[in-house]
Every structure is written in C-alpha cells, then in structure tokens.
Structure 1
Amino acid sequence: MTARVLATLLFTERPSLTMGELAETLHASAGAISGALKMLTSVGLAERVAAPASRREHFRLREDAWAILFTNQNETLTAMQAAADAGIAVTDNRSAAHQRLTQMRDFYAFLMSEIPAILDRWHDRGQ
C-alpha cells in the first residue's frame, strides 16, 4: 500500500490529496492509507500541508523528497542509530551481537556524516 500511495502522490496533477481521496482512488481502507502515509512521512517522502478552505489533512510528495530520504529529517535513519546504541548498551562488548550493533551504529554514523557533501553536490547540479 505504501508503494501505491507513493505512486499516487507522484502521478497526481493536484497540489495535494486528502486521506479520503487517496482511499477512494486506490480503493483502500482508511487504515491502510493512514499506515502508508505514516511510513511515507516518517522517511520524509510525503508531508502534511494546509489547504485553503479545508479542515481535512492534505498530503503531497515533499519538495526534494529523494534527498530528504538521506538527511537528519529521516526518522528511520535516526531510529536505526538509536536502536544500535540501545543494543550496544545492553550487550557484552565481546559478544557477536555487540560487534554487529557497533558496526551498524558506525555505518549509520558514517553515512550521516557523508550525506551533507553528497547533497551539496546534488544541489549544485541545479536539481
């Protein structure tokens, strides 16, 4: 469902869509749409936006969505780092789990430190 909601947000010509409109378009339940939007907003691909004269929540594909996937605004990357840190804190530093968690934490820390330069180069290309 997440992929279907993402595709709908990608292909719509409208500035934003409500959950109801997504549900109707995709012939899906409100719960399925809600879960998909939660995932898409948590990783920075979709965002809630205000719509004039509407009290309903509207959603759209976020400006520069693909770059956002790799920034601090991505809750998933932050959660992965936090999960690794929590696991490291409760495992014996000689255990295989501790070593795997340390590698995981170090990978995400490295990735997060490299991403700003990559995004700068991306933006310099005029994207």
Structure 2
Amino acid sequence: MYLVASALAVERSVSPETRRDLYRMRHDVWVSLYREDEAVVEDTLALLDEALARLPHEGGEAAARVREMRNFYAFLFRDLSELVTPYEKWREEQSASPEVRPLGRGEATRSMPEK
C-alpha cells in the first residue's frame, strides 16, 4: 500500500460505472522513480563530500564510515546511470515487438539485448 499511498508507482482512480476503486501502474514508473532517487543521491553525495572536506585528514573511524558511504553511493549510481539509457532504448524496441520467450518458472519476457 506504500506505493499507492505515496502515488509513486500506482495511481488510484474511480470507475464511473461501478464507483469501485481502480489501481494501475503509472507509465514509465521505474525510470521515473530512479530519476527522482538519482537527484536525492546527487545531493547526498555533495553533502558527504562537504563532510569529508571538513573532517581532519586523519578523521579516524567517523571519516572512514562517511568515505565508505560516499564511495558506495558513487559506485552504485554511476553504474545505474549508465544502464538507464540503454534500458529505455531496449524497452522501446520491446514494445514494438510482439515476440515473447519463456524464461522458465512460469515467467515470460522478451529477449534481452546483446551487448
């Protein structure tokens, strides 16, 4: 219910015929959520950089924890950012193709792009 309550991924509307609540996924929700998070992470990285600049060079354990957090987010979001554009291109190609191949375990998906 969190995604419904916060209107991040799911939106609620009312059916005019039945007056029942209808729920649907927002269009392009995952990339949109990522883009929102990306801005927050950029702000967090700037804050962590500022904190590291203010700490003594030999800041001890506190500086090491801040540096580790900063490096983790920098690494993670660097790689995710590089995946979003190819994903958007792949998604467009998939929406144009009706071919679906089974993955196993009852799931199905369209084929992933070759690198």
Match 2:75 to one of 107, 110, 113: 110
Q: Pairwise CA RMSD of aligned residues?
A: 3.3
Aligned letter for 2:75? F
* Rounded Cα–Cα distance in structure 2 between residues aligned with 1:90 and 1:114: 28
Are residues 10 and 102 of structure 1, via their aligned partners in 2, closer, same or farther at CA, if it must alter by over 3 Å? same
Listed as ranges, the matches of 1:17-96 within 5 Å are 63-71=27-35, 74-94=38-58, 95-96=60-61
Q: CA deviation at 1:88?
A: 0.3
Report how many aligned residue pairs link the two structures: 81
* Larger helix fraction of residues: 1
> Residues 93 and 99 of structure 1 are in contact (CA less than 8 Å); yes or no, is this contact kept in structure 2?
no
Which residue of 2 is the match for residue 11 of structure 1?
Answer: 11
Deviations 1:49-97 (A, max 9, x none): xxxxxxxxxxxx8752322333477332122102211210111232111
SS at 1:11's partner residue? Answer: strand
Which of the pair has more CA radius of gyration?
2
What TM-score do you get using the length of structure 1 for normalisation?
0.46
Calculate percent identity across the aligned residue pairs.
21
Taking the aligned partners of 2:62 and 2:42, their CA distance within structure 1 comes to: 20
Larger strand share, 1 or 2: 2
Where in structure 2 are there 5+ consecutive unaligned residues?
Answer: 15-24, 93-115
Q: Which runs of 5+ in 1 are unaligned?
A: 15-60
